């Protein structure tokens, strides 16, 4: 839908934005995954925070889950399950630097999905995961 600038006065636009559900957090990296997911699957509707939360806590074949290092809440500082090194919080509500650098995000999805799940995450999983982590206030 193209924005209609004649009826969309600044105030009306702000009101519309404020009325969006909390889970609809704008993030260019998430938009990129959404576009890729649509290309992969014509029936794709949107990502799911509930599916992302499930992924966050699901242990893979090595008994590691995302929460093993990032703790039960993405708002908490984490600790590397093997090296004990401190990991800053994943949730942008606690750490605004998160999910701002696409190359960084891809690098860690690749490494961590392999560590936890022994495979790469799909675009759907990355989008679900981000939708969950971005929704944590």
User: Rule CB under 6 A: which residues touch ligand HEC?
Assistant: 64, 66, 68-70, 80-82, 87-88, 98-99, 104-105, 108-109, 112-113, 115-117, 129
Residue with tokens 């949107």: 46
CB 96 within 8 A of CB 102: no
Q: Which helix (H) or strand (E) holds 119?
A: none
Give least dist CB 116 to ligand HEC, A: 4
Q: Which is nearer to ligand HEC, 9 or 57 (CB)?
A: 57
Give least dist CB 43 to ligand HEC, A: 24
Q: Which is nearer to ligand HEC, 41 or 58 (CB)?
A: 58
CB 124 within 8 A of CB 35: no
Task: For residue 78, list its beta bridge partners.
Answer: 87
């Amino acid at each position: 839908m193209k924005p209609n600038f004649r009826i969309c006065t600044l105030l009306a636009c702000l009101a519309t934005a404020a009325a969006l559900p909390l889970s609809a957090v704008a993030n260019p990296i998430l938009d990129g995954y959404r576009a890729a997911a649509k290309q992969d699957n014509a029936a794709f509707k949107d990502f799911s925070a509930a599916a992302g939360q499930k992924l966050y806590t699901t242990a893979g074949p090595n008994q590691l889950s995302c929460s093993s290092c990032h703790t039960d809440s993405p708002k908490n500082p984490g600790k590397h399950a093997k090296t004990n090194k401190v990991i800053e919080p994943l949730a942008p509500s606690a750490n605004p630097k998160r999910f701002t650098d696409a190359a960084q995000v891809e690098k860690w999805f690749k490494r961590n999905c392999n560590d936890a799940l022994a495979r790469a995450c799909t675009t759907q999983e990355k989008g679900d995961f981000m939708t969950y982590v971005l929704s944590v206030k």
